[in-house]
């Protein structure tokens, strides 16, 4: 018997994880507060204040579906440190939440400069 999941449900799941702000962090955050305060090297208000429209749903690379967040350029750096993670948060809900965290190429960032964050895919494969 074949297995399947309604594509609209997978898309709804993927879009539920879209943040409205992006934060470059010096360590892996596990909470919203850690992402925007404890480990933040960029200010979430400066980092693409609204990511809406910066996501694209498509067929997955192998199977299933994926949601791609576009590259974000010229994000202001507020604190010097080594970038190791990128967090997507939703500050429009109460309480605000940490939605997704991914690693990035480790690099030294200097306050007053800018940083570019590469595009990233979040993929859900089809049931096997």
In angstroms, the Cα distances linking 107 to 42, 80, 90, 91, 114 are: 13, 11, 25, 26, 12
pLDDT of residue 20: 86
Question: What is d(CA 10, CA 128) in angstroms, rounded to the nearest whole number?
Answer: 15
pLDDT of residue 3: 87
More confident residue, 91 or 31: 31
pLDDT in tens, 40-80: 999 766 555 446 568 899 999 999 999 999 888 888 899 99
pLDDT in tens, 84-124: 999 999 988 999 999 999 999 999 999 999 998 889 999 99
pLDDT of residue 50: 47
pLDDT of residue 44: 64
Please name the helix (run of DSSP H) or strand (run of DSSP E) that holds residue 125, with its range, or none.
none
Question: What is d(CA 76, CA 4) in angstroms, rounded to the nearest whole number?
Answer: 43
pLDDT of residue 19: 87
Contact between 118 and 71 under an 8 Å Cβ cutoff? The reply is yes
At 32, the pLDDT band (50, 70, 90 cuts) reads: very high
């Amino acid at each position: 018997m074949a297995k399947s999941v309604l594509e609209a449900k997978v898309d709804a799941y993927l879009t539920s994880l879209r943040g409205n702000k992006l934060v470059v962090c010096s360590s892996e955050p596990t909470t919203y507060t850690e992402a925007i305060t404890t480990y933040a090297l960029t200010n979430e208000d400066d980092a693409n204040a609204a990511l809406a429209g910066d996501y694209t749903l498509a067929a997955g690379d192998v199977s299933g579906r994926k949601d791609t967040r576009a590259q974000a350029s010229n994000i202001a750096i507020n604190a010097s440190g080594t970038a190791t993670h990128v967090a997507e948060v939703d500050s429009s809900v109460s309480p605000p939440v940490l939605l997704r965290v991914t690693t990035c190429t480790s690099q030294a960032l200097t306050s007053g400069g800018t940083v570019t964050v590469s595009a990233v895919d979040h993929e859900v494969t089809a049931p096997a």
